[in-house]
Amino acid sequence: MRLYLKFVVMHLQSQMQYKVSFFLMTLGQFLVSFTALLGVWFMFTRFNEVEGFSFQEVLLCLATMLMAFSLAELFGRGFDHFPRIISNGELDRMLVRPRPLVPQVLVSLIEFSRLGRLVQAVLVFCYVIPASNIHWTYDKVITLCLMVICGSIVFFCLFLIYAAFSFFTIEGLEFMNIFTDGGREFGRYPYSIYGRDVLRFFTYIIPLALFQYYPLLYLLGRETSIFFMLMPLLALPFAIPAFAFWRYGLSKYKSTGS
């Protein structure tokens, strides 16, 4: 952990060498994700609710997904960069170092400009938490924390799966963006509005709904069972097949010869 923190500081110091560029990129990330917020706002200028969810309730959903994704992307960006690590032969050097591979990939790329999205999520939370008319008891605060933490882990696992495919294809498979960036975009609204089949897919296959839709019902008081409060924890076993696939891909790796 100490070594990892040293690399984090190194990345921050290197990126802050060009402060104007850093802040412009951070602002760019903020503005790009701001379009999603505008899309929701424009939707509710025409409709009072979407499938029974009000504007503030949808914003709570959006902020949760955006923060979970931003945290995973901030610290797991190295896995998105992983195909290039393989193609330029850098992975061969990583494998002979006396350190586990996953931490090395993690510290290979940390883009602090992604903080732009995280700042936006915090700002949306600052607005929606008092405006949502939710009575914030300790159990609901815990539920919200579980939604963000478990959501970050699920998105991190999706980045890990994306990287694992690169062991077989060398180049990254863009279809995985359907579940990472696409999951974030779909998650602007509760998954139930897309129909039962989509909700089932994001419940049993890619468990995005487990930390987004079901605990949201508990926060809004539509479900009172503690089972819905703890739903985000059911998404954590998704890490088992994700890491197993990573290990399987690593066992089949052959050097690119770069």
Predicted confidence at residue 1, as pLDDT, reads 65
Residue 10 lies in a domain: no
DSSP 8-class letter at 177: G
Predicted confidence at residue 3, as pLDDT, reads 66
**CA–CA distance, 161 with 244 (Å, rounded to integer):** 9
Predicted confidence at residue 213, as pLDDT, reads 92
Q: What is the pLDDT of residues 204-253, one digit of tens each?
A: 999 999 999 999 999 998 988 999 999 999 999 999 999 999 999 888 88
**Could you tell me if residue 136 is left (phi over 0), alpha (psi between -120 and 50 degrees) or otherwise beta?**
beta
Predicted confidence at residue 235, as pLDDT, reads 94
**CA–CA distance, 109 with 203 (Å, rounded to integer):** 31
**CA–CA distance, 14 with 107 (Å, rounded to integer):** 13
Q: Environment class of residue 175 by beta-carbon count within 10 Å: exposed (0-12), middle (13-18) or buried (19+)? A: exposed
Quick check: helix, strand or coil at residue 100? coil
Residue 246 lies in a domain: yes
Q: What is the pLDDT of residues 115-125, one digit of tens each?
A: 778 888 888 89
Residue 255: phi and psi, rounded to 5, are -60, 140
DSSP 8-class letter at 16: G
> Contact 189/50 with Cβ under 8 angstroms?
yes
Predicted confidence at residue 163, as pLDDT, reads 87
Q: Is the confidence at residue 254, as pLDDT, over 70? A: yes
Q: Is the confidence at residue 140, as pLDDT, over 90? A: yes
Residue 2 lies in a domain: no
Predicted confidence at residue 139, as pLDDT, reads 93
- What's the predicted TM-score (pTM) here? 0.88
**CA–CA distance, 32 with 17 (Å, rounded to integer):** 24
Structural domain for 37, as ranges? 22-251
Residue 13 lies in a domain: no
**CA–CA distance, 85 with 256 (Å, rounded to integer):** 10
Q: What is the pLDDT of residues 229-241, one digit of tens each?
A: 999 999 999 999 9
Q: What is the pLDDT of residues 82-116, one digit of tens each?
A: 888 887 778 888 888 778 888 888 877 777 777 77
> Contact 19/105 with Cβ under 8 angstroms?
no
Residue 172 lies in a domain: yes
User: CA dihedral defined by 13, 14, 19, 22, rounded to 10 degrees?
Assistant: -110
Query: Rounded to an integer, what is the distance from CA 214 to the centroid of its chain?
Result: 17
Average of per-residue pLDDT across 185-200: 88
The 10 Å Cβ neighbour count of residue 235 is 24
Q: What is the pLDDT of residues 157-178, one digit of tens each?
A: 998 998 888 888 766 666 777 7
Q: What is the pLDDT of residues 52-79, one digit of tens each?
A: 888 898 999 889 998 999 888 888 877 8
**CA–CA distance, 30 with 146 (Å, rounded to integer):** 24
Helices and strands counted in the chain (H then E): 13, 0
- Taking the CA atoms of 158, 164, 170 and 175 in sequence, report the sign of the dihedral they define: negative
Domains contained in the chain, number:
1
Opening angle at CA 209, ends 195 and 76, nearest 5: 130
Predicted confidence at residue 214, as pLDDT, reads 94
Q: What is the pLDDT of residues 15-60, one digit of tens each?
A: 677 777 778 777 877 777 777 788 888 888 888 888 888 889 899 9
Q: Is the confidence at residue 11, as pLDDT, over 70? A: no
Residue 154 lies in a domain: yes
Residue 17 lies in a domain: no
Residue 9 lies in a domain: no
> Contact 199/209 with Cβ under 8 angstroms?
yes
